[in-house]
Chain A
Amino acid sequence: MKRVAVVGASLAGVRAAQELRAQGYDGGIVLIGEERHLPYDRPPLSKAFLAGAASQASLELLDAGDLASLALDFRLGVRATALEPAARRVLLSDGGSVHADGVVIATGGRARTLPGFEGAHTLRTLDDALALRAALVPGVRVVIVGAGFIGAEVASTCRSLGLDVTVLEALDAPLAPALGPRLAAVCARLHADHGTDLRCGVRVEGLSEAGVRLADGSLVPADVVVTGVGMTPATEWLAGSGLKVGNGVHVDAGLVTELPQVVAVGDVAHYHVDGVGRRHEHWTNASEQAPVAVANLLAGRTERTYTPSGYVWSDQYSGTIQLAGHPRPDDTLSFVDGDPSSSSFVAVWQRDGATVGVFALNNAKLFNRLRRPLRRPVGV
């Protein structure tokens, strides 16, 4: 392999480039990224960076030393528009193309938008964060649609800036499908304890000059509106490539597509284990998939498989939430330290007597002890 094109210059793409070098690949690496910025880390965009407490430089994923040692051929501010596997070519939005023997798809996703909410803020990119930050001037009333991780983090940051915040959530409790009712209640409590007006079971209809219109005809006054309603995997450029897409790029358990010279990593990778497809939208996943995908790309076939840790963190108000594993709604939840009303606790989910998930609020040490066994590969 003489040249690898990595499409998507964010966490998963950068980790893949680093792994290519770490695993001894010394050919060319072309890193193609639609954004004009050098690769940066996204989690602070809803936290310290949005609050103005972290600089843009602190977000950068690669320092000068990394840039020199990785010897990347950067194509920034350029979008990949098509993949032509037979010609071994990636077409670019500037009219150019890149010839590559191997391709790493790391295009992540874009913030989902809601019909009727054109003009509301979303938060996925650095530019989004800069725009939102500029709007968060003293005295504005902020309304956030969606109480998922990003909505909750933005609410928390806005409260830390002293702003008036309302969160509108369609579910009966925030994150209930992922966490179950008891932990969802804890997330709701975090909002209430910090003066955020969380309204659940609310159907939003659209944006008006004065604020957000609800399905029941009422209006929630707002100066700044943010929608945090998930993301859509960026696969449109793969139309016509012959690759299977649909809620992400379909790959096997080793993150390899139907073509052995094309792998996918990060938020965009929809991987299959025992016929079950799965995609994660979390930092650790993007980071941990890279070594596996790269090993298989260099080997020309699936030699290693990926075992997800299911690890997610989220900083909300005074709390650090940590979650690992893949709990299901019918698993049994029990509190091993503290209880749902404490400011620090650890809970585990069990299935057939085995621990399948761990959740902690402000209790990193015990969380990490308990999640260790979950990280061991289970022979996939």
Chain B
Amino acid sequence: MIRACTVDELPPGESVRLPGSPAIAVFHTEAGELYAIDDTCTHQDASLADGWLEGCFVECPLHAALFDLRTGVPSCLPAKDPVRTYPVVVDEGVIYVEGTAREDAA
């Protein structure tokens, strides 16, 4: 389990990058859901935590590939490969990411 931050530190619409290998991006959607995915876009070297959050999709800040935060699957070019997704848990107001990726998206 990786500690991300407290819920208060990540208001809806915001994202945070957790450095590491791989780096992980955690998103808090406007609808109040929390998602974690690999931070590095599978197309090139962009940080998805810097991307634009729209519903449960994030748009890559470099070339606008859209990733579904629930599955990690890109819904448009130029990215073709999915990013891995990670389970997120909240415990006593703190957001944690489970370090091992969900296999279904990989």
List residues of A whose CB falls within 8 A of some B CB. 15, 41, 43, 48, 61, 63, 283-284, 287, 311, 313, 320, 322, 364-365, 367-369, 372
Contacts of B47 in A (CB 8 A): 364
Q: Is A63 a contact of B80 with CB atoms below 8 Å?
A: yes
Q: Please determine whether A313 and B62 come into contact, CB atoms closer than 8 angstroms.
A: yes
A313 to chain B, nearest CB (A): 6
B78/A368 in contact, CB under 8 A: no
A313 contact set on B, CB distance < 8 A: 62-63
For the complex, what is the distance from the CA of A192 to the CA of B47, rounded to whole Å? 27
Specify which chain B residues have a CB less than 8 angstroms from the CB of A367 in the assembled complex. Answer: 61
User: Which residues of B are found within 8 Å of A372, using beta-carbon distances?
Assistant: 52
In the complex, are the beta carbons of B78 and A41 less than 8 A apart?
yes
Q: Please report the C-alpha to C-alpha distance between residue A188 and residue B64 in the assembled complex, in whole angstroms.
A: 27
Q: List 29 A-B contacts (CB under 8 A).
A: A15-B77, A41-B77, A41-B78, A43-B78, A48-B44, A61-B77, A283-B63, A283-B78, A284-B63, A287-B76, A313-B62, A313-B63, A320-B62, A322-B62, A364-B46, A364-B47, A364-B50, A364-B61, A364-B62, A365-B50, A365-B61, A367-B61, A368-B50, A368-B51, A368-B52, A368-B59, A368-B61, A369-B52, A372-B52
> Which residues in A have their C-beta under 8 angstroms from that of B64?
284, 311
Which residue of chain A lies nearest to B59 when distances are taken between CB atoms in the complex?
A368
CB contacts (< 8 Å) of A364 on chain B: these are: 46-47, 50, 61-62
Nearest CB to that of A44 among chain B residues? Answer: B44
Given contacts A48-B44, A364-B46, A368-B52, 9 further A-B contacts (CB under 8 A): A15-B77, A41-B78, A43-B78, A63-B80, A283-B63, A284-B64, A287-B76, A364-B47, A365-B61
A366, closest chain B residue (CB): B50
**A86–B93 alpha-carbon span in the complex (Å):** 69
User: How far is A122 from B28 in the complex, measured between Cα atoms in Å?
Assistant: 46
Residues of B contacting A63 in the complex (Cβ-Cβ under 8 angstroms): 80
Q: CA A24 – CA B78 in complex, angstroms? A: 22
B55-76, CB under 8 A of A: which get 1 and which 0? 0000101111000000000001
- Pick from A48, A313, A368 the residue with the most CB of B within 10 Å: A368
Residue of A nearest to B78 (CB): A41
B19: min CB distance to chain A, Å: 16
In the complex, chain A residues whose CB is within 8 Å of the CB of B77:
15, 41, 61, 287
Q: How many residues of B contact A (CB 8 A)?
A: 15
Query: Please, how many angstroms separate the alpha-carbon atoms of A369 and B61 in the complex?
Result: 10
Output the least CB separation between A18 and chain B (Å). 9
What are the interface flags for B70-101 relative to A under an 8 Å C-beta threshold, 1 for contact and 0 otherwise?
00000011101000000000000000000000
Set of chain A residues within 8 Å of B51, measured between Cβ atoms: 368
Quick one: CB contact mask for B18-49 with A, threshold 8 Å, 1 for yes? 00000000000000000000000000101100
B46's closest neighbor in chain A, by CB? A364
| A368 to B77 Cα, complex, angstroms | 18
Contacts of B44 in A (CB 8 A): 48
Could you tell me the distance in whole angstroms from the C-beta of A99 to the nearest C-beta in chain B?
30
Chain B: which residue is nearest A311 at the CB level?
Answer: B64
Closest to A66 in B: B80
The chain B residue with its CB closest to the CB of A365 is B50
Please name the 3 residue pairs, one residue from A and one from B, whose CB atoms are nearest each other, closest first.
Answer: A364-B61, A365-B50, A368-B61
Instruction: Enumerate chain B residues within 8 angstroms of A283, measured Cβ to Cβ.
Output: 63, 78
| Nearest chain A CB to B8 CB, angstrom units | 21
The smallest beta-carbon distance between A346 and chain B, in angstroms, is 12
Q: Determine how close the nearest CB of chain B comes to the CB of A188; give it in whole angstroms.
A: 23
A248–B75 Cα distance when bound, in Å, is 30
Contacts of B50 in A (CB 8 A): 364-365, 368
Bound Cα distance A41, B51 (Å): 22
Closest to B15 in A: A365
Question: Complex formed: what's the CA distance from A63 to B82 in Å?
Answer: 13
CB distance from B62 to the nearest CB of A (A): 6
Give the residues in chain A near B63, CB-CB below 8 Å.
Answer: 283-284, 313
**Closest chain B CB from A265 CB (angstroms):** 14
- Expressed in whole angstroms, the Cα–Cα distance for A15 and B52 within the complex equals 23
What is the bound-complex CA distance between A364 and B46, given in angstroms? 9
A61 / chain B contacts, CB cutoff of 8 Å:
77
In the bound complex, CA of A61 to CA of B79 (Å): 9
> Please, how many angstroms separate the alpha-carbon atoms of A364 and B58 in the complex?
14
Cα(A322)–Cα(B60), bound, Å: 13
Least Cβ–Cβ distance between B14 and chain A, in angstroms: 11
Q: How far is the CB of A369 from chain B (nearest CB, A)?
A: 8
A24 to chain B, nearest CB (A): 17
* Docked CA distance A345–B39 (Å): 22
